[in-house]
Amino acid sequence: MLAFLLAAVLPGVVLGSVFSLSELSWTLKNANGSIAIPATVPSQAHLDLLRAGIITEPLLGINEFTQRWIVNDNWTYTADLTPFIHTLQGSEASDTPQAERALLVFYGIDTIANITVAGHPVAWVNDQFQQYVYDVTDLVGSPLHGDSNLTVAFESAYYYGMNVTSRPDAEWTEADIFEYPYIRQWIRKVQSDFGWDWGPAFVPSGVYKPAYLVTLDSGSSESNTPSSHPLLVSSEGPLFIEESSLEISKVGQTPIAPPDESADWLVNVTLSVRSTVPVKSPSISISIPELKITSHPVSVQSISGSTTSPTFITATFTIPDSVPERWFPHNLGTPKLYNITTTIHLSPTSSKSFVTQTGFRTITLVQTPYSQQDIDTRGITPGDQWHFEINGKAFYSSGTNIIPYDPFYARTTSEQVRWVIESAVLSGQNMLRVWGGGTYQPSDELTGGYDFYSACDELGILAWSELIFSDALYPINDFLLTAVEPEVRQNVRRINKHPSNAQWAGGNEIEGIVINVNETQANGTHYLDEFVFLFQDFLHDIVSSETSSVAYTDCSTTNGVLSLDPYVLRFENKTAGSIYGNSERYNYDATQAFNYSTYPVSRFVNEFGFHSQPSFYSYEEVLLSPEDFSFNSTVVASRDHHPPAGGLAFPNPNAPQGQGQMSAAVELWLPTPSTSDSNQTFAQWCYSTQVFQSMNMVAEIAWYRRGAGLGENNLGSLVWQLNDIWQGTSWSAIEYSGRWKVLQYGMTGAYSPVVIYPFWTPTNETLEVLVTSDRWETVEGVAQLTWYDWHGTELKTSHHAFSVPTLNNSEIFKASGLPSILPHGHTPESVFLLLNLTAKVEGTTVTHEQIFTPTSLATVPLIDPKISLTHTGGLSFKLSARGGVGAWTWLDHPAGTVGYFADSVTSKPSNGFYLIPGIDRSVTFILNGDRSRVKDPNPSDFVVRSLWNNTHL
């Protein structure tokens, strides 16, 4: 029996037949052998070159440009299998049960590679998103020419793409063009690896996910302790579980119709297995100890005694509706999870068990027409619905979009990802959209390197999942379809077990592209037909055959459907005056930032954003020279990829447009940063772009939430974007290090259960103040509106009781004409309005505040706030304004720390507020020790700033 230490995953635990390839001694070489260095698995070539000292950190300075030589080379990973071969041969000669078969298991290879074992060719692979399993027993046992190596030889994805697209039969397809143009849609690889408008183009390669050698013997065994993961079932005995799917739905449920919420729960277990021995009459049973449920064994398909290909076995079980507690997003209930033990009975004396954590819920994407009754009695605008229901109830989807966490997947950690998800929860979000130009997010560290979906399950946040197609028309050929089908099936089956998964979208923003091509290109119908085949038919049928609990949509942003069964897309076949599908909104003209007529009137808005700079602290991590610390320095501008370069020119020739959009926004709406200290000026520019970003996004969130009570019945808004991939210009709310931007705190207020917001229309000088609730019950409370001047003098106060029905608004104030709105004798520049509310939600007191300024802050006469920051113990502080009002008062935590500031009374995240003389603020910095390099920050290193510091030291 083989015994290897899987130290990378389960330190100190001996596993008989699962050997992590990270335990081998690896070498990385380039094509001509001029570089040969120690390497690791999982990894990517850039990371191993960094560890060897060949290159510096790729994110430093202009390394994105200077390290392009790495992309242009072919890289080979090699490891000596001699220890494994000797052990295998020794086992065969021993009296212990024979280790009959050896399986080579890769959970992710990036991307174009030849695999050889002991000199024998095993496979050529070309899909980053597939897992690969190969029986290499005979190859390991008979090495060629003394070659005892496992070799994974990578071809440059860039050159591969160039070669493929130079073929005479390569079809032209339209796509957004980033650094490496015209090739990404031919390669099943992270699309943003080739560049995007918020990130770098490194085009990495390597065995980027965990990989294993698994040996199976023919002996039978039974263990009373279930394995913690299906992979570990093969630690003893003949069975390897290649894939595991566990899906919970309602009896009779389909992805396209609301389920019968009173029906029994249906538990569907599907396993892809390889076995060294045939099993004629296997069965599967499940148990849920917490619910005291143990099923009878269900007979399943016989298992062939072959390890060269898998056998799929499926069993279903029913559980009464009333037995389990339901899983809910955190803001609507409890994300209840259960441990389900699945046991495979191979014979009366041999069985294997493993544990899966999951939850019971229904999630429905409703796309059917509104009824005439809804139109007549609720005032709904005619058209189709487009919203989610959880456990039979419509709810408001509040959230953001996520992108890859690092340009190099292999160094992403669970701690890094969990902090982003926890931050989403802290800011009131209940949904994250997994953007279709990145990667399929993993479920666990053992196979994925880090955990995403399990953390979403635990923390109670829904994940809108997408297939990896983005901003391109994908050429249809058998080569593509042959790769895509197993990719999609594997990932849908893997993610089935997660109650957090809300839907599958076919890709990102492609429907709009093909509609435009169809309308503008002479042969546009050809591309429309290809789109219909791939996204309406092919991918839809694959996803629908693998899941019954979540819906499929063709695209992230869609015009909806003409029919769900059969699935037929609407495209532009709309009825005038009706609303269909969902929307997105980007407008980089800052003069229109708060013009509500430019905001979509939509059922659901899945993308909207404006870019900003990261903080001065983030730039300190990557800028190398003092002259770089300037808003439009060459290096800073080179890290602005908006609009995209459209090729390999460096620095981005289009960056002045993106820089100019941020500059114009700040200059129009805020005091223009300019002081005698160049570093302070730069820091205030970074901060000011974030302030504007937050102002803009909060206004849009408020508008879309308002729509829940109007004809559009808007039930979703997802900000672009939550996390960052590097230290540079982006749309993110959280910086690469995990530091929160102003927007992250802004969303904490905007996504509160009950919010107050001033809707100002300058063209007719109308101010309407609404209270909006996303609760399922009627919410009652009191709002207070208080006018102040910039000295902090209270000028006028009014109180307003409100009662807000479920998912609706209550108007508490409306007036037109500045004379009837402003305090008597004051101009728009001299005053601002503080709006706040207090309400009861499910027995808990909730509060929210908002600010209204009748004019741009660029024109107001700010007064030195003379902010006092007093340390009150631990990492707690009291802030006082001893002069004027501190507009957008902002606390920065020291470099090397990650965390957030929380109000010392409410415990809600709090930063970026108006500090009014006589109204002190007390906050505590909640340190994330796992993410912080500095574990015990000095309170004297905390910094406070406001808009006053844009023009004053």
Where in the sequence numbering do the catalytic residues fall?
A: 509
Name the token pair of 748. Answer: 């904490």
What's the distance, CA 732 to chain centroid?
11
**Ordered strands of the 18-20 beta sheet:** 18-20, 211-217, 99-106, 132-135
- Closest Cα partner for 724 from 403, 284, 266, 361? 403
How does 759-772 read in b/e, with b if 16+ C-beta sit within 10 Å? bbeeeebebbbbbb
The amino acid occupying position 200 is P
**Ordered strands of the 387-390 beta sheet:** 363-366, 387-390, 393-394
Place of tokens 């995403």: 452
Give the SS3 label for residue 139: helix
Give the SS3 label for residue 866: coil
- Tell me the C-alpha distance between 656 and 658, whole Å: 6
Cα distances from 9 to residues 210, 215, 229, 445, 873, in angstroms, run: 10, 18, 11, 8, 39
Are 172 and 470 in contact by the 8 Å Cβ rule? The answer is no
- Tell me the C-alpha distance between 122 and 120, whole Å: 6
Q: In 525-639, at which residue ranges do the beta strands (DSSP E only) sit?
A: 551-553, 561-564, 567-569, 583-585, 605-608
Name the token pair of 739. Answer: 């530091």
Q: In DSSP terms, which residues pair with 791 in a beta bridge?
A: none
The amino acid occupying position 357 is Q
- Tell me the C-alpha distance between 474 and 470, whole Å: 9
Q: In DSSP terms, which residues pair with 222 in a beta bridge?
A: 351
Phi, psi of 68 (to 5 degrees): -65, -20
Phi, psi of 645 (to 5 degrees): -65, -35
- Tell me the C-alpha distance between 57 and 248, whole Å: 44
From the number of C-beta atoms within 10 Å of its C-beta (0-12, 13-18, 19+), residue 823 rates as middle
Cα distances from 38 to residues 35, 84, 449, 927, in angstroms, run: 10, 19, 20, 36
Phi, psi of 705 (to 5 degrees): -65, -40
What single string gives the DSSP state of each residue in 897-943?
--EEEEETTT-SB--SEEEBTTB-EEEEEEE-TTT-S-SS--GGG-E
- Closest Cα partner for 692 from 704, 684, 681? 684
Name the token pair of 197. Answer: 């408008």
Per DSSP, 700 falls in state H
Are 275 and 311 in contact by the 8 Å Cβ rule? The answer is yes
3-state secondary structure 446-500: HHHCCCCHHHHHHHCCEEEEECCCECECCCCCHHHHHHHHHHHHHHHHHHCCCCC
* Longest alpha-carbon distance in the chain: 99
- Closest Cα partner for 190 from 397, 437, 23, 431? 437
Give the SS3 label for residue 143: coil
What single string gives the DSSP state of each residue in 713-768?
---EEEES-S--SSSSSBS-SB-TTS-B-HHHHHHHHHTSSEEEEEEEETTTTEEE
Q: In DSSP terms, which residues pair with 501 in a beta bridge?
A: 463
